[in-house]
Amino acid sequence: MAFDGIVIANLTRDLKERLEGARITKIAQPEKDELLFTIKNFKDTCRVLMSASASLPLIYFTESNKPGPMTAPNFCMLLRKHIGSGRIVSVSQPGLERIIEFTIEHLDEMGDLRRKKLIVELMGKHSNIIFCRDDGVILDSIKHVSAQISSVREVLPGREYFIPQTVEKADPLTVTEEEFSRRLSAAPMPVQKALYSTLTGLSPIVALELCHLASIDADHSANELSGAELTHLYHTLALMMDDVREGRFAPNIVYRNDEPVEFASVPLTCYGCRYDTGSFDHFDDSVSSGTFALANRSHVSGCSAAADTAAAQEHGIRAESNSGYRAQIFASVSQLLETYYASRDTVVRIRQKSTDLRKIVQTALERNYKKLDLQEKQLRDTDKREKFKIYGELLNTYGYELAGGEKELNCLNYYTNEEIKIPLDPQLTARENSQKYFDRYNKLKRTCEALTEQTAATRAEIDHLESIATSLEIALKEEDLVQIKEELTEYGYIRRHNTGGKKPKITSRPFHYLSSDGFHIYVGKNNYQNEELTFKLASGNDWWFHAKGIPGSHVIVKAEGKELPDRVFEEAGALAAYYSKGRGNEKVEIDYIQKKHIRKVAGAAPGFVIYHTNYSLVAAPRADLKEIG
H or E segment at 480? helix 478-490
Distance of CA 221 to the CA centre of its chain: 29
- Res. 270: pLDDT tops 50: yes
Return the closest-CA partner of residue 166 out of 130, 121, 197, 192: 197
| Helix/strand/coil for 203 | coil
pLDDT at 312: 37
Q: What does the pLDDT look like over 23-53, one tens digit per residue?
A: 999 999 988 889 999 999 877 899 999 989 8
Core vs surface per residue 278-307: b (16+ CB within 10 A) or e: eebeebeeeebbbbbbbbbeebbeebbbeb
**Nearest-10 crossing angle of helices 333-353, 478-490:** 20
pLDDT at 313: 37
Q: What pLDDT band is residue 309 in, cutting at 50, 70 and 90?
A: very low
What is the rounded distance in angstroms from the CA atom of residue 263 to the CA atom of residue 266? 9
Q: What does the pLDDT look like over 193-220, one tens digit per residue?
A: 999 999 998 999 999 999 999 999 999 9
pLDDT at 516: 92
pLDDT at 624: 81
Which residues have C-beta within 8 Å of that of residue 169, sequence separation ≥ 6? 197, 198, 199, 200
Which of 45-59, 73-87, 259-273: highest mean pLDDT? 73-87
Single-letter code of the amino acid located at 157: P
- Res. 320: pLDDT tops 70: no
- Res. 622: pLDDT tops 80: yes
Q: List, as own/partner pairs, every contact residues 567-571 make where C-beta atoms lie below 8 angstroms and the sequence separation is at least 24, other chains included.
A: 567/515, 567/516, 567/517, 568/515, 568/516, 568/517, 568/519, 568/521, 569/543, 569/617, 570/617, 570/619, 571/513, 571/515, 571/516, 571/521, 571/625
- Res. 290: pLDDT tops 70: no
Q: What is the mean pLDDT of residues 293-303?
A: 44
> Between these two residues, 434 and 324, which has the higher pLDDT value?
434
What is the rounded distance in angstroms from the CA atom of residue 170 to the CA atom of residue 165? 11
Q: What is the mean pLDDT of residues 478-490?
A: 88
Burial status of residue 435 (CB atoms within 10 A of its CB: 0-12, 13-18, 19 or more)? middle
Q: What is the mean pLDDT of residues 394-402?
A: 89
Core vs surface per residue 234-247: b (16+ CB within 10 A) or e: bebbbbbbbbbeee
Task: Please report the DSSP string for 68-125 in residue order.
Answer: PPSS--HHHHHHHHHHTT-EEEEEE-STT-SEEEEEEEEE-TTS-EEEEEEEEE--GG
| Residues paired with residue 616 on neighbouring β-strands, in sequence order | 591
Let me know: does 123 contact 98? Beta carbons within 8 Å. yes
Model confidence, pTM: 0.61
* Cα angle: 227, vertex 235, 201; to 5 degrees: 110
pLDDT at 291: 56
| Helix/strand/coil for 217 | coil
Specify the range with the lowest mean pLDDT, choosing from 148-157, 244-253, 291-300, 535-544.
Answer: 291-300
pLDDT at 395: 92
pLDDT at 278: 36
What is the rounded distance in angstroms from the CA atom of residue 46 to the CA atom of residue 60? 11
- Res. 287: pLDDT tops 70: no
What is the rounded distance in angstroms from the CA atom of residue 580 to the CA atom of residue 263? 26
What is the rounded distance in angstroms from the CA atom of residue 574 to the CA atom of residue 565? 15
Specify the range with the lowest mean pLDDT, choosing from 85-94, 123-132, 350-359, 563-572.
Answer: 350-359
Which residues have C-beta within 8 Å of that of residue 344, sequence separation ≥ 6? 260
Task: Please report the DSSP string for 247-265 in residue order.
Answer: T----EEEEETTEEEEEES
